[in-house]
């Protein structure tokens, strides 16, 4: 079992990578910071497997928290289709449009990728993880990592070659 002070130091040193990963999932710095905070809280309050590399475990925890939040958001969004909430829906749509305008061309193109491709691309291209590390982190075969990465790169290249108006 890791000592608390050692664990805290390991978590502190992994924060920049964890924050980049969270941003790649949420595409919003505020949401990414919230996700990192939830991840760190989970890392500090729940046991970490002895044989787990902390950064890989942190990515897994972060991803799972994001998936849970994404699912919960879908439920909330579906509830907002009720006519009594139409003003809220309009505000939500305007907020999303403002966020989309702030993204760079690459960020906008990456958000169009399926979640499985997006995750793999971010872990390899942004986090610099090896295919094996990604395979272990996402608990998928290496061949699946390579396939998803290849499809993500092709889709991203196709998307970036489209005129700017088609990207929004």
Residues 68 and 111 occupy one common structural domain: no
Residues 94 and 113 occupy one common structural domain: no
- Of 135, 105, 108, the residue nearest 119 (C-alpha): 135
Predicted pLDDT of residue 69 = 82
Q: Give the end of a domain, one of 50, 72, 102.
A: 102
Residues 58 and 23 occupy one common structural domain: yes
Summarize pLDDT for 29-72 with one digit per residue, the tens: 999 999 999 999 999 999 888 888 899 999 999 999 988 887 77
Q: Return the structure tokens found at 45.
A: 């309050």
Contact 142, 131 (CB under 8 A): yes
Residues 95 and 143 occupy one common structural domain: no
Residues 96 and 20 occupy one common structural domain: yes
Q: How many domains does the chain have?
A: 2
Q: Give the end of a domain, one of 71, 102, 133.
A: 102
Can you list the alpha helix ranges (DSSP code H) found in the chain?
A: 4-26, 29-45, 54-79, 86-102, 105-111, 115-121, 131-138, 142-160
Residues 19 and 97 occupy one common structural domain: yes
Q: Give the end of a domain, one of 102, 129, 146.
A: 102
Angle value at C-alpha 144, between 138 and 149, nearest 5 degrees: 90
Residues 98 and 130 occupy one common structural domain: no
- pTM score, whole prediction: 0.56
Summarize pLDDT for 100-132 with one digit per residue, the tens: 554 456 777 788 899 899 999 989 988 888 999
Structure-token match 């000592």, residue found = 3
- Domain range for 28 is 1-102
Three-state DSSP state, 122: helix
HSE-up of residue 33 (Cα within 13 Å, Cβ side): 2
Residues 97 and 107 occupy one common structural domain: no
């Amino acid at each position: 079992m890791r000592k608390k002070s050692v664990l805290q130091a390991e978590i502190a040193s992994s924060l920049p990578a964890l924050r980049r990963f969270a941003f790649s999932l949420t595409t919003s710095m505020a949401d990414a910071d919230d996700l990192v905070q939830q991840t760190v809280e989970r890392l500090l309050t729940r046991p970490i497997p002895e044989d787990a590399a902390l950064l890989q475990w942190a990515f897994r925890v972060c991803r799972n928290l994001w998936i849970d939040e994404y699912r919960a958001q879908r439920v909330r969004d579906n509830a907002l289709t009720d006519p009594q909430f139409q003003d809220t829906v309009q505000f939500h749509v305007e907020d999303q449009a403002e966020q989309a305008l702030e993204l760079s061309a690459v960020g906008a193109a990456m958000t169009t990728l399926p979640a499985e491709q997006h995750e793999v691309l971010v872990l390899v291209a942004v986090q610099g993880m090896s295919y094996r590390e990604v395979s272990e982190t996402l608990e998928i075969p290496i061949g699946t990592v390579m396939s998803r990465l290849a499809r993500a790169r092709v889709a991203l290249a196709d998307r970036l070659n489209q005129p700017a108006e088609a990207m929004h």
